[in-house]
Structure 1
Amino acid sequence: MSTSSPGPDRQLAVLTVCGVGMGSSLILRMNAEKALKALGVNAKVEHTDLSSARGMRADVIIAQGLHTEDLGGAAPVIVPISNFMDVDGLRNQLDEALRAQGWL
């Protein structure tokens, strides 16, 4: 995954992360795909565990708040979430974070 500035011709690389990379990161991936689609963002979303995420490159990492401190510097944008099922809340957080980077 690349960390160059995403633009209209390149997919945004997004990781959803949980402690062991199983169920909750998969649910978060599906909801992140919905939120990004609603924002009109071209993105490839992958899910992984915390340990693997540290060595991967991404533009955006979405993770439970308790894991975001461990991911500092792993991506230009790290979005902490508290409710994996709140697609609208995630959409709002992504909108704000991507606009702050000039990616929206």
Structure 2
Amino acid sequence: AAQEFLQEYPAFIQQRHPLDNFAERLSKKINTLHTLQASNDIAITQMQLAEQLSFTLLDRFKEAQQVLIPAWQYHLKQSMQGNSVAELQKLDHSREILMNTLKKSLEKNRVE
């Protein structure tokens, strides 16, 4: 609408003041609004990408927590029944480290 008015503006004025640069001011404001709209479009796209990344990380964390780690524990128990308690504690400690790493990764990439 502002661009149409800018094109029709000369028909509305009969005596123009020499210091009045209305057309230039309006043109600058139109350009500013276009720039702001483009910036907002980019920001919305970035937020959507961040949201998708967060959902992907959450799915990976849940899969690791609910499927992969229990399967790993079961496999270790089956294959290490004859091993020492110290080795089992070491494996349990490595499992805890894995869980903490996954939680930190999820918290780091959380969309707020």
**Which of the two has greater helix per residue?**
2
Name which one, 1 or 2, has greater alpha-carbon Rg: 2
* Both proteins in one fold, TM over 0.5: no
TM-score between both structures, scaled by the size of structure 1: 0.24
Higher strand share: 1
